Structures are given as C-alpha cells and as structure tokens.
Structure 1
Amino acid sequence: MLLAPIDWAIICAYLLFSLCIGLWVARQAGKNSTQFFAAGKNMPWWLLGVSMVATTFSTDTPNLVSNIVRTDGVSGNWVWWAFLLTGMLTVFVYANLWKRSGVLTDVEFYELRYSGKMAAFLRGFRAVYLGFFFNVVIMATVSLAAIKISGVLMGLTPVQTVVITGVVTVIYSSLGGLKGVLLTDFFQFFLAIGGSLIAAYVALDHPEVGGFEGLLNHKEVVTQLNILPDFSDPSQAIGIFIIPLAIQWWSVYYPGAEPGGGGYIAQRMFAAKDENNSIAAVFFFNAVHYAIRPWPWIIVGLCSIIVFPDIAAMKEAFPDAASVADNDMGYPAMLTFIPTGWLGVVVASLTAAYMSTISTHLNWGSSYLVNDFYKRFVRPESSEKELVRMGRISTAVLMVIAGFLALYLKNALDSFQIILQIGAGTGLLFILRWFWWRINAASEVAAMVISFAVAMYFQFAHVHTGLPELTSWQELIAGVVITTIGWLLVTLYTRPTDKETLVNFCEVARPGGPGWQKVIEEAEAEDNDLEPLQDEAWRVPQGILCMALGSVAVYGTLFATGYWIYGRWILASIITLISIAASGYLFKSWRKLIQIRPEDEEELFEE
C-alpha cells in the first residue's frame, strides 16, 4: 500500500515541525551537559509527565499489545500491567529520593551510594552495560516495529526503513538535547493519542468486524475478551497473571518500570524543578500509561483476529513484509484500511511515537556514555562544550548499531521476554539499596553479571545440556532465585561501603528507616547527629499506602473502561465508583505524604 501525496505532506510537515523545535533549542542545549542531558533541572511536572507517556508510546508497544491479544487474549496484558505496582512505588517512595540525590544520571548515583574502586567500576560498567548494550537492544526492538509498519504501509525494505528513520531521528535528537525531546514529546503525545483513536475507529468500521457488536460477538474474539485469565487453566493463570503480580513487578529491571526508579524515568525526575514536581510527573505518567492508553491498541488487536486470523493471512496480504510477519504485525496490518488523509495522520503519529522513544533512548544512553564513562574515566578535564559534542557523536553511533541489530530481530514479544530475563533478580536489590546500608557495589555487579549469565543460558546454552525446556515464567523464577541468592551471598561476604560515604548519603538523600539505624548510631557516637534528618525523611509507610490507593485507582479506571466498552454496565459502574473512592482517599493521603497544608492543597498543580 502506497501513501497518497496528501499523506506524505502530513508526515513531512510533522518532521519539519520537529526539526524546527530542535533548531530552536539547540543553542541553549549546547551550553553545557546539564542543559543537554537534564534540561537545566528546571522543568514542570506536566511537561515531564507528558514526555514520559510519549516516550513509552512507542511504535513497538501497539505491536506488542496486538501480539499479546492475538495469542493470549486481553488478559495476557498482565505481563506489563503488573508493572503499575513498580511505577506507583517509584511515585510515592522513590521520586523524592532521586530528586534529593542531585545527580545528573542514575548511574552517577553509584558513587554517591557506594565507595572505593568497586563503586567507580560499577559506575563505568553500568554506564556501558545500560547506555550501550541494553539500550541498543531496546532501540532495535523499537526499530523492528518501524520496519514492520513501513513494510506494510509503504512497501519499504527493512534496510530502507532503518536508514531513513535513523538519519532523521539522529539529526533531531542531537540538536535540542533533553529539552528538545521534552518539547517535541508534548506535541507527539497528542498526535499519537489521536492516531491510535483513528486506528481503533477504522478497525471497528471494517466490514468484516461490524462495529462493537460484531467484534464482541465474533466467535474467535469472545474467548479473548476476558480481562482476568482463565483460572481453570493453571498454566495460563500462573504465567500471565500470578507470576507478574507476585514476582515480576518487584524482581525485574525493565526500562520505564525499574524497581526503585531509574533509567529515563529517573532522568525526567532529575530534570524536575523540585521534589513535588518530580512526584507529580511520575504519577501522571503511570495513570495515563496504564489506565487510558491501552484500550485503542487492544481494540485494534481484537479486530485483527477477525480480518487476519493467522500469520499466513498476513504474509499473503503483505508479501513485502513476509520475512518479518508475525502476530505482532496485526496492528500495522489493520492500519492499511485507513483512508487517504487520515492515514497520513496515523503514520505521522506512529512516526512521532518512534521518534519520541528513540530520541529519549539516544539522549539517555548518551548521558551514561558521556557523563559516567567519558567524563569520569577518559577525560575528566573535558570542557562542557566537549561533553555536548561527545553526546552528539555517541547519539549517532548508538543509532547506527541499533539499526543493524534491528535487521536480525523478528518478534517484539520475544524481545520483551529476553529483556525481562536479562533483568530478572536485580529488582529487589534496586529497591533495598535505598533502605539497607549493607548493600554495596559488589552486590550490584554480582546481580548484573549473574542475571545476564542466566538469561544467556536460557536463550542459547540450555539446548545443548539435554535438560527439559522451561516456560518463560519458569525461566523468570529461576533467574530471580539464582540471581537473588548470588547477590545476597556477595553482599554478606564482601566489605561494606565506607562509613563516610554512608553518612554523606544519609545527609544528601535522607532515605530513613530501620535499615540505616546502625549508620545513625555510629554517626551519633562520633557527634554527627543524623536523627533529625531520618525523622523527617521516613515517609515510606505513608508512601506504601499511597502506592496501594494509586494502584486501585488506576487499575479501577483500566477495568472500568474495558467493561464500559464490553457493555457490562453494572460491573463497570461498580468499578468506576471504587476507582473514584480510591482517588479521593489517595488525594488526602498524598497531601499528608508531601506534608502540605490544607490551604496549599492545589499548590502542586498550580506551578
């Protein structure tokens, strides 16, 4: 299917608009590394929150959701819905701690929290591991989605797609730094939302679908509609519901949903102008990401089951994309029915989604490579202009390598599972390092190395051992258990962090809690009184209450929306009331958490 001139005009207009924003802020972004990588640390919550949503509104996410819906039904989305718990923990427990730390990147945090050569090694290792290797895999997965969409809608080959999108995105990303990303994300968010709604409307209007009534009564779709899994089938319930909610959310490192915060979410928090804006930004992101955005993607995925019942049907319909055809192509396949003009808007929205995600990952990964590797270990004396220049060079290098890797990937869900497995078992450490003084740099190195080794074993080596093959959730549990035991043993048998570093961390971040009592007592014995700081900072119990209320409110909105769509009015009404009640209680609890007076209750949202 070829785009009409009007469609190309809409796409080009959007690209030109993005380029103009990059040019507009390029001079300011080039002043220093703080401007380039953290937007001057003076951004409001609403801009940061919208940017987080836009970043996760990637071209591969609708494909992933379509894949899940086609293979496991709507309930299969619990493999990522469970990460809401992680997000809410970040909002109400970790957002203010990250902002207090005052670092430029979450990797810089390691030399604030740990001491000695091992801390320096961890900072450099983590910078390269996450900024380069891990980041490239994420960008390659996103580029894979662009390959499939362009193959279906425009007849482009994978190589053509990688070259075109890579060149455009690198130019845009290297101009404006994080501030350019944030400003462009603001417009990309609304364009992407509009595009997904158009896609859902057109999919429902397809003659074979026949609107909501035809969709919800189709024999192939009825079995896929359940929001909760079929508990009579333990294998399904365990894999897509029980394990994600019981283990996955706190034990696995995944970009955008890191236990304890981190990654580009932390980068946005660092860019906030104060702690309250940091908290509000992450809450907005989680609410929109989980409660509002999924249903248009789900609807398109369900419609694709009717129009393209199997992979063979998609290969026959799109021979140019036959080499990469899979269930995750259900979403772009349905986009081919969008009429001229509207199709240009939808493709522009997908382009916006792609550019938003890639530009964020380029800036985020580059910040690690430049601030935490190049500046820290290669040229400590480098000027701010040199750091910005190296940031722009590393941006281009990351894009080139990610493009090459994208040519070898086949499936978005497979990539998602690999990423989960690589991070399995590290999550608990990322949570506890804020609240248990004994965790040290060696703990983190051990967790990363062990989790990566286990993931590589399950991905490649297990086929040569003769052992029975495990399901993805069994591999996840094995990875969590092995990695957790490994890093705990390393923690207990290695030297703890220096006392001076621990005391300084308490003074700067003020984490609080019983896990730091030993440090406090030893500091007091040396006439260094940390007790007032700990009393002021220990807000975790109230934060966990807010986390629970926030999760109920967001999940309630997600479920209620689904049941309103399904026409189950009574159940939808009950869940809506529960969500409203949880939201009201959350507001009161949140106000108590951030310790603002009743007359100042709207201050957070007026800034």
Structure 2
Amino acid sequence: MGTLDWIVVGGYFFVMVGIGWWSRTRIKNVLDFFTAGGKMPWWLSGISHHMSGYSAVMFVAFASEAYRLGLTVYVWWALTIGVGIGIGAFVFSARWNRLRAKHGVASPLEYLATRYNVPTQQVMAWAGTLLKVVDIAAKWAAVAVLLRGFAGVPITWGILIVGLVTMVYSVMGGLWADALTDFGQFLIQAAAGIVMFVAVAAHFGGIQFMWEIWGQLPAANSEPLREPYTATFFMALFIIKTLEYNGGMWNLAQRYMAAPDGAAAKRSALLSSVLWLVWPLILFFPMWAAPLIVPGLASADDAYIELGKIMLPAGMIGLVLAGFFSHTMAMVSSDANVISAVITRDMLPHLWKGVRNLSAERQLQLARVTTFVFIGASMLIAVTSGGQGWVLKIVVDLVAATMGPIAVPLMLGLLPWFRRMGPAAALASVVSGLGVWAALYISQQSGVVIDKEALVAFPLLTSLVLYVLVGLVKPERDNRRDELIDSLSTDGAAVQETAKTA
C-alpha cells in the first residue's frame, strides 16, 4: 500500500468516528440507543439491514470458496439470504416493528418473557450472546487477515485498530450511528466493488467476461451446487437463513423495529432482499475469474488480496480495504448494539434487581458500558486465537449450525400459526437442537466423519420437529400470549403495555 492508500483508510476511520460523535445528539434514552426511537426512514433501515448482514468474512472465507469452487457460493449463500428476506418481508418484518410500536420493546428477546416465560428467555439470551461473541471474534480475525495481506500489519494490531474505531462510534451513537455508518459504508463498498469489477472486465477486454470465463474454468465451477455443498445443505441453509436474516440474527430484527411502522419495515426488507440478490454478483464475478488471473495460490484465503494487488491502481487498494472494513464494522457495531440491548433489558435485570430502578440517564450509561464490554471481549478472543485457519469453520460450521435452534422459537413465536407452542416447546427446541450440534461436533473432533450437511441440517431439523411436536402434545396457550400474538397482525393504535420502562 502506498501513501495515498493509507490516506484513504485513515480518512475513512476519521469519518466513522465523526458520525458516531454527531449521532450522540440524537440519543436521549435507551429506546433511541437501541431502536432509533422508531424514526429511521425505511430506505436507511433497508440499507442498514443489508450492510449488517455480512462482513469481511466474505472477502476471506467466501471469496476463497468462490475462487476454489465457483458459482456455488452465490447459490447457497447470497441466493438463500435474498429469497429468505423477500419471504420475511411479508411474514416477519412488520411484526418486529409492532413489538416496538405497541409494546415498547427495545430488545428482540424482550417479548419472550411474555410469549413463553422468563427461564426460556434467559436460556436463549445466554446461548445467543455467547455464540455472538465468538462469531464476532471470527470477523475481527477476517478483517485483520486482509489488513495484513494488503499492508503487512500484524494480526493483533489489525484487530485492535479496527476494533477500537468500531468501539468508539458504537458506544457513542447507538443504532443511529450504526445505521448512518452503514449508509456511508454502503457507498464506499459500492465504489470499491465497482472499481474491482471494472478492473477485471478491462483485463478480459470487456463485460463479456461474465459469460466467457466459464468456458476457461473447470466445468464444475459453473455448477449451482457441488461438494461439499449439496442439495440437503442448501435446503437446510435456506431455512436457517430465512429465520436468521429476518430476525433470528437479532441485530437485523432491530432494523425492522427502527422503522416508523410495519409498512415501512416491509419496504426496508424488500430493499434488503433486492440488494442481496444483485450486489453479491458484482463482488463475486472478480473472484470467479480470479483463477485465470492469479492461478495456483497456496492459500485461497488470499485470493481477493492478490487479485487487488494486481488489478488496482494507487489509492484504489485503500478504497477496497476501507470497503472490507466497512462490512465488518457494520456487522460488529450492529451486533454490539443488539447484544447490549439483550444484556441491559433481558439479562441484567434478573441478575441485579437494581437495574430496574435506574434512572433513564443511568440506563443509557449502562447500555454504553455493555456495548464497550461486548466489543472488548470479542477483540480479546480474536487476539488470543491469532485468527488463523478458523474463519470459515466458525462462520459456516458453528454459527450456521447453532443459529437455527436459537432462532426457531424466537421467530415462530411471532406467528399465529404457532400459538399452541409454549415454554416447554421452546426450551425443548433450543436445548435439543444445541445438544445435537454438540454431539455431532464432538464426534467430528474425535475422528468420526460428519458431513457438513449433517452438521447444519440435523440440529435445525431437531429443533423444528420438537418445537412443533411438543406444542401439539402439550399446548400452552393463555390470554396474555394470545393477545400479544394478535396485536402483531396490524398496525394501529399503540397498546399501553410497555415491556419495560425506558
């Protein structure tokens, strides 16, 4: 990287901190900090939803798969997410918004105390929070690998630099800072991605490279699904991503909650769906062509880095690197905000009764402290691990396999079709799904051959089956649960039943 590249990266970090500082003026209480007070425009909510869904892992782990295996990574990853969000626009998005508008909910897990009970809520809160801190550690490692590849910055310093900048604007500005930086990052990544796409097109003599490269690549690279990504893996991941990206990944539920009303939340989901179907193609085409430009790489994880060094002029590498940062910082800041909401609103009140009596100012201070602690813990894990050789394993194997069991009762509990399912069904779903994953994972580490599709599909299938079966055998309906579910069907006058006073 040259001087101009470093100026671009430094300027990017400066702007992100500036946005966080400005966003402080919009934060008056914890509802503003966690849900933007329901005042976020639908288009900003949609762009923020899209940007918060992926990180620099795409340019390490997923770019590696695109380099090695070709088209399949778009089919089983981006396509499943884009279609899943499109479905969720009509099923889930407005319901999340109405939880905030009608019940004063600021955390996606806050409604679970009424929908099921407090013990069920606590099991899901603790399991999801521990999962997320490891997930985010993997993302710090991914962006640090990119920074080392482009600029020679050691892994530890890369994690610290990007992490501290993210920590500053997340702690200061809450969800408003997250969304506004998401928008700025969207513009940066659009410019960086288009620059790389145009550079690769120019290398091959024009836009026709998009269809001509397939004849020069191995025939299997153009197959929609290829080993180890089978049809079973695709179907399991499609269900997981539909649940995950419509609120099972808690920070994405926040984007719907932040919109003014249910109709606006639906529009934001549709915008995010379109972006997921289109934008990854721009990012992946250079990687699909990369084996023809930088063949025989010893490590496919370095594919995007090596391609950028060859194809991009001075200044552009800095822009692309800023784009890498943008994705990771977008996801981490939004995750930190929602985990802070879960800790502050759902976990701490049951560990420390005094939290309920804190003033509005003290609650806001507590929210900022928990945001700081979460980001710091994830950075510590990333630094101590060194970030080597585990990015794809964490993101695909662990997160994809365990997100399903946590998301099933959270998401299906919003829907009237599952009103019979109560606390017993929810606990059985979460505990059994995670238990099946743990058994499979331990067996795999002991030398037993466990296919990737089994590691992802079996925990999800177990959770779904037990959630429905236990609910049918032991229905647990009551008036409070029915009223909560029914209130989420339409926009309307606010129900004076806030879950907790902000």
Q: TM-score range by the shorter chain?
A: 0.7 to 0.9
Residues 185, 326 of structure 2: 8 Å contact kept: yes
Give 1:167 deviation, angstroms.
1.2
**How do 1:191-206 and structure 2 match up within 5 A?**
191-205=188-202
Read off the aligned partner of 2:224 and give its amino acid letter.
Answer: L
- Alignment equivalent of 1:384, drawn from 311, 336, 360: 360
Closer, same or farther in 2 for the Cα pair 1:40/1:424, shift >3 Å?
closer
TM-score after normalising by structure 2: 0.86
For 1:148 and 1:124, locate their aligned partners in 2 and report how far apart those are by CA, in whole Å. 35
**How do 1:147-158 and structure 2 match up within 5 A?**
147-158=144-155
Secondary structure of the residue that 1:423 maps to in structure 2?
helix
Say yes or no: does 1:483 pair with 2:463.
yes
For 1:402 and 1:254, locate their aligned partners in 2 and report how far apart those are by CA, in whole Å. 24
In structure 1, runs of 5+ residues without a counterpart are 230-235, 313-325, 512-532, 534-607
Say yes or no: does 1:4 pair with 2:5.
no
For 1:298 and 1:252, locate their aligned partners in 2 and report how far apart those are by CA, in whole Å. 19
Equivalent residue number for residue 48 of structure 1: 45
Read off the aligned partner of 1:388 and give its amino acid letter.
Answer: L
Give 1:222 deviation, angstroms.
4.7
Secondary structure of the residue that 1:347 maps to in structure 2?
helix
**How do 1:51-62 and structure 2 match up within 5 A?**
51-62=48-59
For 2:422 and 2:178, locate their aligned partners in 1 and report how far apart those are by CA, in whole Å. 34
Give 1:212 deviation, angstroms.
5.7
Equivalent residue number for residue 474 of structure 1: 454
For 2:37 and 2:404, locate their aligned partners in 1 and report how far apart those are by CA, in whole Å. 34
Give 1:150 deviation, angstroms.
0.6
Give 1:18 deviation, angstroms.
1.7
Say yes or no: does 1:297 pair with 2:270.
no
- Alignment equivalent of 2:303, drawn from 316, 325, 330: 330
Closer, same or farther in 2 for the Cα pair 1:503/1:486, shift >3 Å?
closer
For 2:390 and 2:411, locate their aligned partners in 1 and report how far apart those are by CA, in whole Å. 31
Secondary structure of the residue that 2:159 maps to in structure 1?
helix
Residues 42, 271 of structure 1: 8 Å contact kept: yes
Deviations 1:410-466 (A, max 9, x none): 2433222221111345655455431222111232222222222222222233454x7
For 1:310 and 1:417, locate their aligned partners in 2 and report how far apart those are by CA, in whole Å. 26
Closer, same or farther in 2 for the Cα pair 1:432/1:344, shift >3 Å?
closer
Residues 137, 405 of structure 1: 8 Å contact kept: yes
Residues 150, 305 of structure 2: 8 Å contact kept: yes
Residues 81, 245 of structure 2: 8 Å contact kept: no
Give 1:79 deviation, angstroms.
1.9
Read off the aligned partner of 2:378 and give its amino acid letter.
Answer: A
Closer, same or farther in 2 for the Cα pair 1:184/1:426, shift >3 Å?
closer
Closer, same or farther in 2 for the Cα pair 1:365/1:425, shift >3 Å?
closer
Read off the aligned partner of 1:384 and give its amino acid letter.
Answer: A
Residues 143, 328 of structure 2: 8 Å contact kept: yes
Closer, same or farther in 2 for the Cα pair 1:214/1:275, shift >3 Å?
closer
Give 1:45 deviation, angstroms.
0.4
Read off the aligned partner of 2:187 and give its amino acid letter.
Answer: F
For 1:368 and 1:88, locate their aligned partners in 2 and report how far apart those are by CA, in whole Å. 26
Residues 434, 459 of structure 2: 8 Å contact kept: no
Give 1:401 deviation, angstroms.
2.1
- Range moving further from structure 2, 65-74 or 248-257: 248-257
Give 1:272 deviation, angstroms.
0.8
For 1:254 and 1:5, locate their aligned partners in 2 and report how far apart those are by CA, in whole Å. 44
Equivalent residue number for residue 98 of structure 1: 96
TM-score after normalising by structure 1: 0.72
Say yes or no: does 1:374 pair with 2:344.
no
Residues 69, 224 of structure 1: 8 Å contact kept: no
Give 1:38 deviation, angstroms.
0.7
Equivalent residue number for residue 399 of structure 1: 375
Secondary structure of the residue that 1:439 maps to in structure 2?
coil
Deviations 1:303-359 (A, max 9, x none): 3323443442xxxxxxxxxxxxx4233122222232212222222222222221211
Residues 112, 410 of structure 2: 8 Å contact kept: no
Equivalent residue number for residue 351 of structure 1: 325
Equivalent residue number for residue 261 of structure 2: 274
For 1:217 and 1:332, locate their aligned partners in 2 and report how far apart those are by CA, in whole Å. 20
Say yes or no: does 1:120 pair with 2:131.
no
Closer, same or farther in 2 for the Cα pair 1:263/1:100, shift >3 Å?
same
For 2:20 and 2:406, locate their aligned partners in 1 and report how far apart those are by CA, in whole Å. 36
Say yes or no: does 1:135 pair with 2:132.
yes
Equivalent residue number for residue 11 of structure 2: 13
Closer, same or farther in 2 for the Cα pair 1:463/1:227, shift >3 Å?
closer
Equivalent residue number for residue 596 of structure 1: none
For 1:509 and 1:255, locate their aligned partners in 2 and report how far apart those are by CA, in whole Å. 20
Equivalent residue number for residue 500 of structure 2: none
Give 1:39 deviation, angstroms.
0.7
Count of residue correspondences: 476
Deviations 1:508-553 (A, max 9, x none): 2238xxxxxxxxxxxxxxxxxxxxx9xxxxxxxxxxxxxxxxxxxx
Equivalent residue number for residue 448 of structure 1: 430
Residues 409, 430 of structure 2: 8 Å contact kept: no
Closer, same or farther in 2 for the Cα pair 1:133/1:427, shift >3 Å?
closer
For 2:75 and 2:407, locate their aligned partners in 1 and report how far apart those are by CA, in whole Å. 18
State the identity as a percent.
Answer: 19
- Range moving further from structure 2, 73-82 or 401-410: 401-410
Give 1:300 deviation, angstroms.
2.2
Larger Rg: 1
For 1:344 and 1:505, locate their aligned partners in 2 and report how far apart those are by CA, in whole Å. 49
Say yes or no: does 1:417 pair with 2:397.
yes
Secondary structure of the residue that 2:52 maps to in structure 1?
helix
Equivalent residue number for residue 109 of structure 2: 107
- Alignment equivalent of 1:161, drawn from 139, 158, 166: 158
Say yes or no: does 1:243 pair with 2:243.
no
Equivalent residue number for residue 496 of structure 2: none
Closer, same or farther in 2 for the Cα pair 1:431/1:223, shift >3 Å?
same
- Range moving further from structure 2, 89-98 or 448-457: 448-457
- Alignment equivalent of 1:286, drawn from 268, 273, 278: 273
Residues 421, 479 of structure 1: 8 Å contact kept: yes
For 1:214 and 1:436, locate their aligned partners in 2 and report how far apart those are by CA, in whole Å. 49
Residues 423, 451 of structure 1: 8 Å contact kept: no
**How do 1:199-278 and structure 2 match up within 5 A?**
199-205=196-202, 216-217=212-213, 221-223=217-219, 225-226=221-222, 228-229=224-225, 236=226, 240=229, 242-244=231-233, 246-251=235-240, 255-258=244-247, 263-278=250-265
Read off the aligned partner of 1:309 and give its amino acid letter.
Answer: P
- Range moving further from structure 2, 215-224 or 148-157: 215-224
Closer, same or farther in 2 for the Cα pair 1:393/1:401, shift >3 Å?
same
Equivalent residue number for residue 146 of structure 1: 143
